Amino acid sequence: MTCGCCGATIAQVSGKAGGYYGCLAATKGACENKKLVKRSLVERVILEAVHEQISDPEHIAYVLKQVETEIVKLRADLPDTLKLKEAELSAEQRRLAHFVDFIGEGRGSQALGKALVETERRVDALTDEVDALRRSREKIFRPPPIEWIMDRVSKLQDVLEQRTARSAQALRDILGPIRMEPVTPDIGRPFYRAVTSIDALALTEAPPAGAEGGSNSLQRWRRRELNPRPRSRERWRLRA
């Protein structure tokens, strides 16, 4: 968690009555945000908000379908990009071959040696880019079946309710940084607004319980479709 005023870490700063969260910078006089909030309240509110956001499998399925749509858009330029990179690689490889020929004929120099090294680096970098583009051309992200999502969400909900180290790890996997914004209303007591985001693709990874869930067909879907994980992601805004 980070302070919405200064960006410093929000952590437990008091052990009274179960503990209070506050801005660490404020304890050193470097931030004006001196608001404290009960640790138990923060954890309960955020956990309940996460439960609410992931309680509807159809909602998750919709988000993952949007991810698929966005990935298709991103891949639209892939063929042209690959052609350009392949042409650039070919040109650098020819350049490298010419340098090697010059040096082999005894016409080398210090400047030529440096140019040779730089060209080798560009060839290596372009080779990696071309290989990555070719691999991505063969991979297509597809959202999982709704039955698999229902099974996954059910297991995740069970883990979160346990409030163990496994639950904490699950939250770290699906939540982004939590920004704690202090709010002073015209009426009532000041409070924090917790702002974070949920990584929808993290919900499609292996269940935090460590066991394969669902039918055999759903397990096969997981192994076939989710390794490796696509880079594109869709995020939900979570406010508690």
Residue 236 pLDDT exceeds 50 = no
Q: Kindly report, residue by residue over 202-235, the tens digit of the pLDDT.
A: 777 655 444 444 444 455 555 555 444 444 344 4
* Mean per-residue pLDDT over the chain, rounded: 79
Task: Residue 182: name the closest of 39, 47, 22, 11 by CA.
Answer: 22
Kindly report the pTM of this predicted structure: 0.55
pLDDT at 210: 45
Spell out the alpha helix ranges (H) of 76-205: 78-104, 110-138, 146-162, 165-174
Contact 167, 159 (CB under 8 A): yes
